[in-house]
Amino acid sequence: MADGRVGAWAIEASGLTKTFGTLTAVDNLSLRVSHGEIYGFLGPNGAGKTTTIKMLVGLLKPTSGTARIAGYDVQRDSRSAKSRLGYVPDQPFLYDKLRGAEFLTFMARLYQVDPARAQARSEELLRLFDLADAADQIVEGYSHGMRQKLALAGALIHRPTVLFLDEPTVGLDPKSARLIKDLLLQLRDSGVAVMMSTHILEIAERMCDRVGIIQHGRLIAEGSLAELRAQSQQEESLEEIYLSLTGGPDYAELARVLA
Amino acid sequence: MLSWRASSPEHVGAVTTVREVRLLLVLGLRLWWSKLRRSSWRYRLGWSALAVLLTGGALLFAAVLGVIVRSAGRLGGGTEAVQLLPGGLLSAVFLFTFVTAFGNSLSALYLAGDLDLLMAAPVSPRSVFAAKLIQAALPNYLLITLPLVPVFWAYGQAQHYGAAYVVAFLVVLAVLPILPVGVAALTVLVVVRLVPPRRIAEIMGLLIAGVSISLSLWGQSVGFRTTRVMRPTDILQGLTTLDRPMMPPSLAGQGLVAVGEGNWPRALATLGIFALVTIVGAVLCLEAAGHLYYVGWARTRSGAGRSRPRRATPAAPGAWAGLLSHPVPAIVLRDLKILPRDLSNLIQILAPLAFGVFWVWQILRSPTAPRLIGGVFQPAWALIGTFVAISVANLIFARFGLNGISREGQAAWIIRAAPVSAWQWLWGKFLVAYLPYLALGSVLVLALWVAQGEDLFALAESWLALALVGAGVTGIAVGIGGSLPRFDWSHPQQMVGTGPGCLAFIAYSGFTVILLGLFAAARVAAPGLSLLGLFAWSAALSAALLVTLAAVFIPLGIAARHLSRFE
């Protein structure tokens, strides 16, 4: 499964920086994710998670620094890098006038998957995500959860070795959320590197091999849960570690608003 | 310990429907004002220009109708027809208000997305519906009726009616829209149970565009067939055909005439029935609409169709399968599936298609060259047919090139995150516009060639001109559209800005003139086929080929650079 350059990291970011005018959204960020690892990317709203992921998948050009997927530079060798990754954004905008099955066929052609394999894979993914009955319906009529699942099916159709998921469980019912969690664990076991951003710390705590916490565009902590506990010395759960690093709720302010 | 102090609901029951509606209208007005205040100067300038244009148009319309009514009144124009005029006019307003209110209600109730928020507020569903419908229907209604005020006034003058008539027609115009708006709202609630709201909006757009174009073409064909000037009495006759005696607007019309003539019993009876039917009907409609929405009967149809059994996708034969598994054909096949499904795209091509067919028909009816064109320029006449074929095919399909990249919309991330180069993306969009152009253009060239009775050489030359002009125009269109894409559109008309649209039009026109000039030169040089003629012919066609290559590759190259840097 570890397709790509020999010995290369599945995901490698070195000194990634992105500025929008005077705002520095991501500031000199470096991280590495190996094959067969789930990396949780945490941080408050506006911390730079989505911007980082967009730079890693080649949707945004870094102001400085480099991003590599399986050893291929996302900017210089973008087609080699992109053919190895799958991406599901936080808001899965799809082609409204395409049917579900047609969308998967289109994705397979885009990633140049062999047609016979693509058809079998498409059927398999539609069944897996409980979309087989809706496969001939126009995407326009899909609910948010169905779109999210179809986008994930589209990202998996070419069997990527690196998967980027931005808030993958938002808007999903408990059954679908559980399905995605199980699927990610299976993908990890088969050697796929998964990088996902989430606000649900319980998911990160239970599923991720390592987590990175970003704030104001900087990676302020990184490691396995055990390593983070060791660093913070006294904290128990990931939630407590996260809140101590990023700043907890202001109870006085909360009380004033609710009074 | 935190505590939550709930707000007191005591004021809710005391607020009357009228006060609630007023409150909602004032809030809506504040929102609009706030949006206008914070908008760019371009937006404000656009709205001001539109307001001036509409006011001017309305005044012109009023003046023309006023003149017609006065002259018809003086001429006599058939007393019965003149008396039916108010009913006819009010029926037209009623019908038009219903149609526009249907579209406005659809937008206000289902496409605006704020109905649930308002229904959750401590105001009655009836008030919410009434306020939403007034907000939605009022601007259009004012646009329709304000120009009618001078018309009714002119009518009263011509018929020597008194002040009571003026008061009566003002009251009637104020009351008239209530019923069509209520009926339209109720109709919307019924229709959205069957068809998704967005689809209804698309179908309505298509119907309105179809009717407008049909009327325009009908007007042109009448102009071609007849030179008779339409008299005011003809227009009067047309308007009075809308009058249906027992319908509320006709009753109102009869009442107005009765008021003008001082026939008070008849006036009271007709206007009374009109007011009763209008107010009771509207209240019932609004009440029913609010109730149906509240109990969940008027749920929208979210799916775009019934669930159907899965069809096995036929596998393409070996060689084709390999070819199709490539980003360029993938983009082409996807777009060719999406384009006919999105009716807003069909609306865009409806007008050029209809006018194209019309002009091709005109050429086919008189295919021979005028006598003035003769001698050495006679062979170039056949190019006129080619020019028409090219223009028609380009009018229809060039826009698919211009908005090709922008058509990806907010789903553009799919292609941008895939291993697809900017050139592959652009070639896909190029072919989506060029292939249908070539197919339609070839049919037109063939039809015109048969009609003009030219030789095979002329056909080959015409087809080459079609292929090269189309390639260049499509290259320019995709290039300009790809250099300045808009991915945040919600309607196809918003995909291309005014600047790129104008630039593209100037570039197409310049390129087409140059290329057809070169083909005309080649056609003039060809007949003798002397050595010099042959040289001139080859030079002209080679130049045409080079200009086309430049028109394809330069804009696409610029667009490829822009797209690879686009964020």
- Chain A's closest residue to B329, CA to CA, is A109
What is the chain B residue with the closest CA to A112? B325
> A139 and A153 in contact (C-beta within 8 Å)?
no
**3-state SS, one letter per residue, for B287-355:** HHHHHHHHCCCCCCCCCCCCCCCCCCCCCCCHHHHHHHCCHHHHHHHHHHHHHHHCHHHHHHHHHHHHH
B residues 338..367 contacting A (CB < 8 A): 338, 341-342
Q: Calculate what percentage of chain B has a pLDDT beyond 70.
A: 77
pLDDT cut 90: percent of chain A above it: 60
Region B407-425 average pLDDT? 92
SS3 A14: strand
Chain A residues 192-251 within an 8 A CB cutoff of chain B: none
Checking if the pLDDT of B7 tops 50, the result is no
B414:A94 CB<8 A: yes
Please indicate if any CB of chain A lies within 8 Å of the CB of B308: yes
Contact state of B302 with A79 under an 8 Å Cβ cutoff:
no
Average the pLDDT over B369-377 and give the result. Answer: 51
B310, two tokens = 């899965």
CB neighbour class for B525 (10 Å; exposed up to 12, middle 13-18, buried from 19)? buried
pLDDT of B330 higher than 80: yes
Q: Report pLDDT for A51.
A: 93
Query: Does residue B126 or residue A8 have the better pLDDT?
Result: A8
Q: Name the residue facing B310 among A58, A108, A135 (closest C-beta).
A: A135
Least confident of B27-41, B300-314, B538-552: B300-314
- Residues of chain A with C-beta less than 8 angstroms from the C-beta of B4: 258
Beta strands A193-197 and A162-166, pairing class? parallel
Facing residue for A97 by CB, picked from B308, B338, B418: B338
| Integer angstrom CA distances of residue B77 from A21, B90, B363 | 72, 19, 40
C-beta atoms of A138 and B305 within 8 A: yes
Cβ–Cβ < 8 Å for A29, A214: yes
The pLDDT of residue A149 is: 92
- pLDDT, greater one: B19 or B363: B19
Of A82, A110, A136, the CB nearest to B310: A136
Token pair for residue B415? 């292609």
Q: What's the pLDDT score for residue A124?
A: 93
Burial-class residue B564 by CB neighbours within 10 Å (0-12, 13-18, 19+): middle
Asked if the Cβ–Cβ distance from B315 to A116 is below 8 Å, we say yes
A138 and B341: CB-CB below 8 Å? yes
Q: Give the pLDDT band (50/70/90) at residue B87.
A: confident
- pLDDT for res B464: 92
- Residue B329 contacts A, CB cutoff 8 Å: yes
B304 within 8 A of B196, measured Cβ to Cβ = yes
> Could you tell me how many CB contacts below 8 A there are between chain A and chain B?
120
Please judge whether A106 and B330 are an interchain contact, meaning their C-beta atoms are less than 8 angstroms apart. yes
B113 pLDDT band, cuts 50/70/90, is low
Query: Does residue B323 sit at the A interface (CB-CB below 8 Å)?
Result: no
What is the reported pLDDT for B305? 47
Q: Touching check for B194 and chain A: CB below 8 Å?
A: no
Amino acid B438: pLDDT: 93
The predicted structure's pLDDT at residue A84: 94
> A258 contacts in B (CB within 8 Å)?
2-4
Residue B557 pLDDT more than 90?
A: yes
Q: Which of residues 547-566 of B touch A (CB under 8 A)?
A: 565
Greatest Cα pair distance, chain B, in angstroms, is 104
> How sure is the predictor about B6, in pLDDT bands with cuts at 50, 70 and 90?
very low
Q: What is the ipTM of this complex?
A: 0.89
B window 7-66, beta carbon within 8 A of A: none
Task: Compare B425 and B316 and report the one with higher pLDDT.
Answer: B425
User: Which residue ranges in chain A fall short of pLDDT 50?
Assistant: none
Q: Is the pLDDT of residue B121 over 80?
A: no
Angle of CA points B315, B320, B325, to nearest 5° = 80
Whether A193 and A11 have beta carbons less than 8 Å apart is answered as: yes
- Closest residue in A to B344 (Cα–Cα): A97
For B268-298, what is each residue's pLDDT tens digit? 998 999 889 988 988 888 788 777 777 766 6
Which residues on chain B are in Cβ contact (under 8 Å) with A89?
413
Residue A136 in contact with partner chain B when CB distance is under 8 A:
yes
Encode pLDDT of B430-460 as tens digits.
Answer: 999 999 999 988 988 888 888 777 788 888 8
pLDDT in tens, A200-235: 888 888 899 999 999 999 999 898 888 888 877 766
Cβ–Cβ gap B414/A78 under 8 Å: no
| Radius of gyration of chain B measured on its C-alpha atoms | 30
Mean pLDDT, rounded, of chain A = 88
3-state secondary structure string across B136-177: HHHHHHHHHHCCHHHHHHHHHHHCCCCHHHHHHHHHHHHHCC
pLDDT tens readout for residues B164-214: 888 988 888 888 888 888 888 888 888 877 777 777 777 777 777 777 777
Mean pLDDT in chain B? 78
- At residue B94, the pLDDT reads 86
In the block, residue with structure tokens 């298609």? B353
**Cross-chain residue pair B338–A95, CB shorter than 8 Å:** yes
Local confidence band at B304 (pLDDT 50, 70, 90 cut-offs) = very low
| pTM attached to this predicted model | 0.73
Give the SS3 label for residue A99.
Answer: strand
Say how far apart CA A27 and CA B359 lie, in whole Å. 62
